Amino acid sequence: MTAYVRAAARAFEMSMKLRAVNPFTNFGWLVFPLIFVVLGLALLGGGGKSAYAILGGGLLGYWGMAYVEGGNEIQNERWSGTLEQIMGCPTPLVVIVVGKLCSSLVFGALSFFPAIAVGYFAFHQSVQNIDPVPFAVSFLVLTFAFFCMAVTLAPLYAMWRWAFSVTNGFEIGVYVLGGFMFPISQLPAWLQVVASVFAPTWAVRALYAATGQPFGRQYALWWAVSIALSCGYLVIGWFLYRLVDVRARATGQLALA
């Protein structure tokens, strides 16, 4: 176990160093949320909806870093010719992925700083009426949901290179299902059903409820559903990691998959 923790810590450390000098990472947490906050505030204006623009911009950056950048890391290993070494080494792939994803989450969480700053300094808007304890817990639950989704998706990127194209293509669709910048209650009923199996949706609802949005205060229920769905993803992920391991060894086509 200590060896796995050490390996994950090294993967985290290396990933942090590489990300710190990666322009695309810095675009993802610094510039990308800014664009969406500006767009959001220009559309939603002041008043009660500004929380959706400011927190929403941060959420987009956070999610983008967690899953697109997390997936991109696997794709980069493929491009660099190191994916086979990672799969072939005694440390399980999931340990490396966990280390890399923790680094994605750290940079992703930074997205909220430019989002809040541009809201405050450029538009004189801020997120008000924050209920601190539910807000903090909701943020942790959301982080867990992002982490679980990214861990579950990572083996798909290793298995098929088109998997990244598909998830990247649907990145903006995820903003809809997660209710990142508007409540999902305005979506068609069938789409709300789809959104309800998406763990971050429940955590995002709790997060916005903690800023005074009129959703009720059923925090415990929302957190529980989000955590249960996230754990469900991990179970699916466990099977996917086994599948990738067997498949990569059986076909020998990892780099070309």
Partner 1 sequence: MNTLRIFFRTCWFQYRAMFNWATPIGYLSYKFLQPIGQILFFTELGIFATGRSNALYFALGNALQLTAINGIFGVVMSVGNERQFGTLPILLGSPANRLVTFLGRAFVHVIDGIAGVAVGLALALVMFQIDLSHANLGLLAICVCIISLSTAGLGLMFGSLSLIMRDVFVIANGVYYLLLVFCGINIPVSRLPEWAQLISTGLPLTRGVQATREVVSGAGLAQVSGLLAGELAIGLVYALIGYSMFRWLEHQARRGGLQEAY
Q: Return the axis-axis angle of helices 32-44 and 50-63, rounded to nearest 10°.
A: 160
The residues in 143-182 that bind partner 1, with binding defined as CB under 8 A, are 161-162, 165-166, 168-176, 181-182
Minimal distance, residue 72 CB to partner 1, in Å: 11
Q: Which residue, 120 or 162, is less far from partner 1 as judged by CB?
A: 162
83 binds partner 1 (CB under 8 A): no
Residues 36-55 that bind partner 1 (CB under 8 A): 36, 38-40, 42-45, 49, 52
The minimum distance between CB 50 and partner 1, in angstroms, equals 11
Q: Is 120 in the site for partner 1 (CB under 8 A)?
A: no
Residue with smaller CB distance to partner 1, 123 or 219:
123
| 32 belongs to the binding site for partner 1 (CB under 8 A) | yes
C-beta closer to partner 1: residue 12 or 36: 36
CB of 136 to partner 1, least distance (A): 26
Size of the site for partner 1 (CB under 8 A): 34
**Whose Cβ is closer to partner 1: residue 91's or residue 196's?**
196
Name residues whose C-beta falls within 8 Å of residue 254's C-beta, 6 or more positions apart in sequence: 78, 83, 84, 87, 158, 248
With respect to partner 1, which residue has the nearer C-beta, 162 or 239?
A: 162
Chain residues that interact with partner 1, rule: CB under 8 A: 23-24, 27, 31-32, 35-36, 38-40, 42-45, 49, 52, 161-162, 165-166, 168-176, 181-183, 186-187
